[in-house]
Homo-oligomer: A and B are copies of this chain.
Amino acid sequence: MTKYTELKNGAIFGPGIPNPFSQFFIGDTFLNTLTQSPDEKINIGTVDFAPGARNNWHIHHHGYQILLVTAGEGWYQEAGQPARSLQAGDVVITKDGVKHWHGAKVDSWFEHIAITAGSPEWLEPVADEVYNALEA
């Protein structure tokens, strides 16, 4: 379990601000927008998730997303696949059109850098029965 104090002390890029897209998330999450590529095609920022927090199922259209996990422990799941357990140092690639979600474990804060191209389509929340069935 990673406590908030530990994550905050270990957060390289700072905790950011309360997530302005919180309607597409369950639980408390924080965004720190770091930069955009000069061609404006790639956005880079960190997302911090409180224990139990996760985003809704979503799809990146006309692009992709790369996650670089920087702190804590979390989950990544593509529709129809088992959830993948994540910890600092892990790298995740989501290809164009793939329905998926990501977020913290139930007892740990979680932080990743997100490198994003294209535009997201937000879908339904990850049901509690799906999330709570995941084994730490």
List residues of A whose CB falls within 8 A of some B CB.
12-14, 34-35, 37-39, 42, 44, 64, 66, 68-71, 88-89, 91, 93, 95-96, 113, 115, 117
The 4 closest A-B pairs by CB, nearest first: A38-B64, A12-B88, A13-B89, A38-B95
Number of chain copies forming the complex: 2
**Pick from B34, B37, B91: contact of A117, CB under 8 Å:** B37
CB within 8 Å for A44 and B12 given contacts A38-B64, A38-B93, A38-B95: no
How distant is the Cα of A67 from the Cα of B88 in the complex, in angstroms?
A: 19
Query: Judging by beta carbons under 8 Å apart, are A66 and B44 in contact?
Result: yes
Known: A13-B68, A38-B96. 8 other contacts (CB 8 A): A12-B70, A34-B68, A35-B91, A37-B66, A37-B93, A37-B117, A42-B115, A68-B113
Chain B residues with CB under 8 Å of A38's CB are 64, 93, 95-96
Chain B residues with CB under 8 Å of A66's CB are 35, 37, 44
Q: Which residue of B lies closest to A71 (CB)?
A: B12
How distant is the Cα of A71 from the Cα of B13 in the complex, in angstroms?
A: 11
How distant is the Cα of A39 from the Cα of B37 in the complex, in angstroms?
A: 15
CB within 8 Å for A39 and B64 given contacts A12-B89, A89-B12, A89-B13: yes
How distant is the Cα of A37 from the Cα of B34 in the complex, in angstroms?
A: 19
